[in-house]
């Protein structure tokens, strides 16, 4: 397989396309509950987006945005169904960790949901540890927050 990695921003049309597929997947998993997270998943004004292409077809995406002076937050990590279990999510996250480290952030944080066991397993395998939920996910029993020191 011939993969290309593009570093771009949230204005990229392929990123918007993949994020729409991600949102469809989340609505299938969580139904109406997913609507309460929409406000946290806005992707306008994200400067650091990574898209993976196979033969110029967008197949995976992810982004980071500053959470605080020390932390970047992983956002909108998605791999199209037919491309899962090929190491693409690891590749994406590795690239986003690399960008964060080059900018002197000391850790990455993320929020995922209880109905995404494959995501939780992936993050644990990549060294992310479950932490207390951070704002705006405090007291949200559906949210699982994780952190990795860089």
Per-residue model confidence (pLDDT) at position 44: 73
In CATH, the number for domain 3-149 is: 3.40.630.30
Model confidence pLDDT, tens digit, residues 25-66: 888 888 787 777 766 776 778 999 999 999 999 999 999 999
Straight-line distance from the first to the last Cα atom of the chain, in angstroms, rounded to the nearest whole number: 29
Q: Where are the domains of the chain?
A: 3-149
Model confidence pLDDT, tens digit, residues 8-19: 999 999 999 999
Residue 1 has pLDDT above 70, yes or no: no
- The H or E element containing residue 61 is strand 57-66
Q: Which of 42-56, 65-79, 115-129 has the lowest mean pLDDT?
A: 42-56
3-state secondary structure of 70: coil
Per-residue model confidence (pLDDT) at position 39: 67
3-state secondary structure of 98: helix
Confidence of residue 22 (pLDDT cuts 50, 70, 90): very high
How far CA 5 is from CA of 2, 72, 150, in Å, comes to 10, 20, 21
Q: Which of 28-32, 95-99, 109-113 has the lowest mean pLDDT?
A: 28-32
């Amino acid at each position: 397989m011939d993969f290309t990695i593009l570093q771009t921003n949230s204005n990229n049309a392929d990123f918007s396309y993949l994020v729409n597929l991600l949102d469809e997947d989340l609505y299938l998993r969580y139904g109406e509950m997913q609507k309460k997270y929409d406000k946290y998943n806005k992707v306008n004004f994200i400067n650091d987006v990574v898209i993976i292409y196979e033969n110029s077809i967008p197949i995976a995406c992810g982004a980071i945005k500053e959470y605080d002076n020390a932390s970047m937050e992983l956002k909108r990590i998605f791999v199209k169904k037919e491309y899962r279990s090929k190491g693409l999510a690891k590749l994406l996250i590795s690239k986003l960790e690399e960008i964060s480290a080059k900018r002197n952030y000391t850790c990455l944080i993320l929020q995922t949901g209880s109905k995404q066991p494959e995501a939780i397993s992936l993050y644990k395998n990549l060294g992310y540890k479950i932490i207390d939920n951070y704002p705006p996910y405090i007291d949200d029993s559906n949210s699982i927050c994780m952190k990795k020191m860089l």
